[in-house]
Chain A
Amino acid sequence: MRVIDDMTAILTGLWTTWKHILRRPVTIQYPEEKRIPSPRYRARIILTRDPDGGERCVACYLCSAACPVDCISMQAEEGEGGRRRAAWFRINFSRCIFCGFCAEACPTMAIQMTPDYEICRRDVMDLVFEKEDLLVEHCGKDPEYNFYRHAGIGVTQPRGEGEGEKPTVDVRGLMP
């Protein structure tokens, strides 16, 4: 009978919720209790340095292009030794959705996500982080990687002496 089925359904529902009333809540009392997020957690973004201490970011604009909410902006410039770097670099964390696309797009491992999720501010402008606020003094994840050693344009080493490169060609040589 349909009525019986319906009644059973309603009563089963009531029984299920009743059981949950007696169950232990899963709530974590946030400021007192804190969860330790995994190292791959996607929260506050940093700009890391390469193992030699140089800025990893080459201001290639790939992160800003990848960002679905357009919250990264920067201006590239030429630094010393022909190094490409950011003159200014800004992430608007009030817009960021912590999707991690920027970190995924970054070819130099410069931009990385950290597990620090406690970045509320009273004033929204304080959530606009400049390069000074983003740049850290360590390599973050991938501590060995140094883009310029592979890049083949000789910024951190003379041309032809990077990893996986032959010495430069002598164009005036007659040897085949």
Chain B
Amino acid sequence: MPKLIIDDIAVEAAEGVSVLEAAKSVGITIPHFCWHPALGRAGACRVCAVKLLDGPVKGIQMSCMLPAQEGMVVSTTDPEAVALRRQVIEWLMINHPHDCPVCDEGGECQLQDFTIACGHGTRRFVGPKRTHVNQELGPYISHEMNRCIQCYRCVRFYQEYAGGSDFGVMGSAGKVYYGRFESGQLESPFSGNLVDICPTGVFTDKTARFRARYWDYDMAPSVCPGCSVGCNITPVARYRELLKIVARRNDMVNGWFICDRGRFAPKGVNAPSRPRTSLVDGVKTGREEAMDALLRRLGEVAELYGEGSIAVVGSTRLSQEGATLLPLLAESISAGALSYGLSAAESRASSGAISMLTLENGASIADVENADCIAIYESDLREEGPMLLLAVRQAWRRGAPVLLVGENSPLEQVRGVGIEAVQLHYMEEAPLAIFERPVVIAGMRHGDPRVMAVLDRSGARVACLFPGPNGHGAALLCAEHGGIPLEEALAKGKVKGLVAVEADIPAELLAGVPFVASLDWRETAAVQAASVVIPTAAWVECDGTYVNFEGRAQRFSRVMKPGLPIKELDPACHPPRIHQGDPPGGDILPSWQVMIEMIRLAGEKVPDGPFSGSWANLTSLDPEGEGEVIRGRCRRDS
């Protein structure tokens, strides 16, 4: 632990960190472009100059390249260092275009910040600027090469960190160009991170092109609903429209990055066809009336078909709040069946997984990154958890062999991140025992519950990829309350009334059910088939909790108010000229609150909040924190 002095502050730096990081640890930001916490240093931009007054090295040094050493005395404010930084920025800006007003990076631009921080204001050089031709990089990312300051972050991320091979750097000297060999969509499933990682506006999010500025954004810490990895994100909204999604750092989950699916896949929040008013037989009504009608008709169904003819169906995308209240709702309307999922196979695999997982044998992403051998069992990670693929690549870069087990683990998935892998047929073939920190990544889609026992015995840490963002939480509750998969419930033929709470039930399954009600914010088949529809708030419109694959409960916060986006209210191409308190379509509650209202209407005792009893510890989760690991609570032998 070297001790050094930076700007008169005594710092005890961790072994091997640079002076720049040591300064950062005590709150001194030294301007930098090429250095990135996840990518390390390159020494390309020369803007992190500091002056060493005393110690093993002296004079002007690049702080990102210089390991912190015992006895160093560093000044970031020395006139010589300040002058150098100012001149370096001035030189970087010589070719930078004059286009902040039309640049989507403006306002969240590291170049703007550090240019101002370094004190450069006016371009003194009068010569012409170099220009580049841009490339068409597909529907998600726009390219504006004139803005490049040659920091090499993009290439280092794309090629080294994410293993992409279709993007790189060309040319030399004043001609350096970062792009593909020719125009075309970027192939890496992590290409969207170029937007976050480029310190300038070379790569910007095309889906949010020319929409808003950083200072106007509605933002909040949130969790990606794309898969069970639960990457931390910051959704960005403006005027009640979800504009884009950027990665949010959480070292226990996704680190600095997210995958393209989480970033760019259509989220449905902005879909014009989204249910926004309560409907009874297709007629718009108030929420209270719709709930009344729903309860009345459920009563009729129960009368007609007898006890137990009603099923309440949740899903793995329903927040943990909603999922915990689901059994109470089922009880209050005397439902005969409670399900958290559709497929029987998936359900069996999930329940096998939760009864196998313990606090010790579960693997986090960090465990995957540090593994010395990785087996991917019956899973296509591109579908089930893309960010794990990036983690697998980091382990592979450190020398860990990658094994693909089972016929549902295609080789193409690892090719996308530039990994070599060995294919096996059975889990038993994997020589996990000879490694110190082996990790198995198991898919639930095709997973065989019997293998769980094998995994349990193997001594490896296991990452089980549950379906949906809250698959783990739903599986825990399912086990706790004796839920059955919907397929099974329907197979008995007894279900005549069905309440779908944010559940994606295909039309075929609903065909034989005379009465369907749906609480949802997406226009699903269930919403279309339902005679009573009550809209709920989408995940960016309310607070909630997801339990990710490793059993980490993470809180997400409300990003924007529910309601029709201004864009859709727009008769004469400007926002309405009437002022009112709530936006049109804004009277929407999160699904758990709708359920509480229904329980109240049904005359049952209403719980204080979504979490009570053994779940009460989830009440005070910090959305900005690391989350809380709750796995293992269902293990049979504990």
Contact of B98 among A62, A151, A168 (CB under 8 A): A151
Distance, CA A84 to CA B104, complexed state (A): 10
Say yes or no for A131: interface residue by CB 8 A criterion. Answer: yes
- Interface residue range, chain B: 35 or more
B40: which A residues are within 8 A, CB to CB?
A: none
B212: which A residues are within 8 A, CB to CB?
A: 61, 76
Cβ-defined contact, A171 with B170, below 8 A: yes
Cβ-defined contact, A153 with B146, below 8 A: yes
Say yes or no for A169: interface residue by CB 8 A criterion. Answer: yes
What's the least CB distance linking B184 to chain A, in Å? 15
Residue of A whose beta carbon sits closest to that of B128: A166
Residue of B whose beta carbon sits closest to that of A87: B573
- When each residue 135-176 of chain A gets 1 if its CB lies under 8 Å from chain B and 0 otherwise, what string results? 000000000000100111110000110001111111111001
B130: which A residues are within 8 A, CB to CB?
A: 166, 169
Which positions 127-145 of chain B face chain A at CB distance < 8 Å?
A: 127-134, 144
Distance, CA A61 to CA B211, complexed state (A): 10
Cβ-defined contact, A77 with B129, below 8 A: no
Distance, CA A87 to CA B211, complexed state (A): 10
Say yes or no for A43: interface residue by CB 8 A criterion. Answer: no
Distance, CA A169 to CA B210, complexed state (A): 26
Cβ-defined contact, B99 with A153, below 8 A: yes
Cβ-defined contact, A151 with B239, below 8 A: no
Say yes or no for B101: interface residue by CB 8 A criterion. Answer: yes
- When each residue 171-190 of chain B gets 1 if its CB lies under 8 Å from chain A and 0 otherwise, what string results? 11111010100000000000
A168: which B residues are within 8 A, CB to CB?
A: 131-133
Distance, CA A138 to CA B175, complexed state (A): 40
- When each residue 94-108 of chain B gets 1 if its CB lies under 8 Å from chain A and 0 otherwise, what string results? 000111111000110
Cβ-defined contact, B574 with A153, below 8 A: no
Cβ-defined contact, A88 with B171, below 8 A: no
Say yes or no for A96: interface residue by CB 8 A criterion. Answer: no
Residue of A whose beta carbon sits closest to that of B577: A125
Distance, CA A176 to CA B172, complexed state (A): 7
A152-B101 in contact given A60-B106, A87-B573 (Cβ < 8 Å): no
Cβ-defined contact, A60 with B171, below 8 A: no
What's the least CB distance linking A108 to chain B, in Å? 6
Say yes or no for B575: interface residue by CB 8 A criterion. Answer: yes
B132: which A residues are within 8 A, CB to CB?
A: 159, 168-169, 171
Contact of B209 among A62, A78, A87, A88 (CB under 8 A): A78
Cβ-defined contact, A108 with B146, below 8 A: no
What's the least CB distance linking B238 to chain A, in Å? 8
Cβ-defined contact, A166 with B129, below 8 A: yes
A152-B210 in contact given A75-B239, A88-B575, A169-B177 (Cβ < 8 Å): no
What's the least CB distance linking A153 to chain B, in Å? 5
Please count how many residues in chain A sit with their CB below 8 Å of the partner chain's CB atoms: 41
What's the least CB distance linking A88 to chain B, in Å? 4
- When each residue 111-134 of chain A gets 1 if its CB lies under 8 Å from chain B and 0 otherwise, what string results? 000000000000001001011000
A164-B172 in contact given A75-B566, A77-B210, A84-B102 (Cβ < 8 Å): no
Contact of B102 among A151, A160, A169 (CB under 8 A): A151
Cβ-defined contact, B574 with A88, below 8 A: yes
Residue of A whose beta carbon sits closest to that of B174: A169
Cβ-defined contact, B102 with A176, below 8 A: no
Cβ-defined contact, B102 with A58, below 8 A: yes
Cβ-defined contact, B146 with A152, below 8 A: yes
Cβ-defined contact, A88 with B101, below 8 A: no
Distance, CA A159 to CA B127, complexed state (A): 17
| Most chain A CB neighbours (cut-off 10 Å) among B98, B215, B575 | B98
Distance, CA A124 to CA B450, complexed state (A): 72
Say yes or no for A59: interface residue by CB 8 A criterion. Answer: yes
Say yes or no for A42: interface residue by CB 8 A criterion. Answer: no
A87: which B residues are within 8 A, CB to CB?
A: 573
| Most chain A CB neighbours (cut-off 10 Å) among B99, B128, B209, B215 | B99
A150: which B residues are within 8 A, CB to CB?
A: 98
Cβ-defined contact, A165 with B574, below 8 A: no
- When each residue 10-43 of chain A gets 1 if its CB lies under 8 Å from chain B and 0 otherwise, what string results? 0000000000000000000000000000000000
Residue of A whose beta carbon sits closest to that of B573: A88
What's the least CB distance linking B382 to chain A, in Å? 31
Say yes or no for B296: interface residue by CB 8 A criterion. Answer: no
Which positions 164-214 of chain B face chain A at CB distance < 8 Å?
A: 170-175, 177, 179, 209-213
Cβ-defined contact, B99 with A76, below 8 A: no
B106: which A residues are within 8 A, CB to CB?
A: 60
Cβ-defined contact, B131 with A169, below 8 A: yes
Cβ-defined contact, B98 with A169, below 8 A: no
Contact of A131 among B131, B144, B574 (CB under 8 A): B574
Cβ-defined contact, B98 with A159, below 8 A: no
What's the least CB distance linking B445 to chain A, in Å? 40
Cβ-defined contact, A160 with B574, below 8 A: no
Say yes or no for A54: interface residue by CB 8 A criterion. Answer: no
Distance, CA A172 to CA B132, complexed state (A): 12
Distance, CA A121 to CA B357, complexed state (A): 70
A76-B211 in contact given A60-B101, A60-B102, A62-B101 (Cβ < 8 Å): yes
Say yes or no for A107: interface residue by CB 8 A criterion. Answer: yes
Cβ-defined contact, B215 with A65, below 8 A: yes
Cβ-defined contact, A151 with B99, below 8 A: yes
Say yes or no for B289: interface residue by CB 8 A criterion. Answer: no
Cβ-defined contact, B102 with A153, below 8 A: yes
B98: which A residues are within 8 A, CB to CB?
A: 150-152
Say yes or no for A44: interface residue by CB 8 A criterion. Answer: no
Residue of B whose beta carbon sits closest to that of A169: B175
What's the least CB distance linking A166 to chain B, in Å? 5
What's the least CB distance linking B42 to chain A, in Å? 21
A164-B131 in contact given A61-B216, A75-B239 (Cβ < 8 Å): no
- Other CB < 8 Å A-B pairs besides A77-B211, A151-B102, A154-B131, 9 of them? A58-B101, A65-B216, A75-B567, A90-B575, A151-B99, A152-B129, A153-B97, A169-B177, A173-B175
What are 22 sample pairs from A and B whose C-beta atoms fall under 8 A apart?
A: A61-B212, A75-B566, A76-B212, A88-B574, A88-B575, A90-B575, A131-B574, A151-B97, A152-B99, A153-B99, A153-B102, A153-B146, A154-B131, A159-B131, A159-B132, A159-B134, A160-B131, A164-B128, A165-B128, A166-B128, A169-B175, A170-B175
- The residues of B with any CB-CB pair to A shorter than 8 Å are 97-102, 106-107, 126-134, 144, 146, 170-175, 177, 179, 209-213, 215-216, 239, 566-567, 570, 573-575, 577
- Closest 4 pairs (CB-CB, A-B): A152-B97, A60-B101, A88-B574, A160-B131
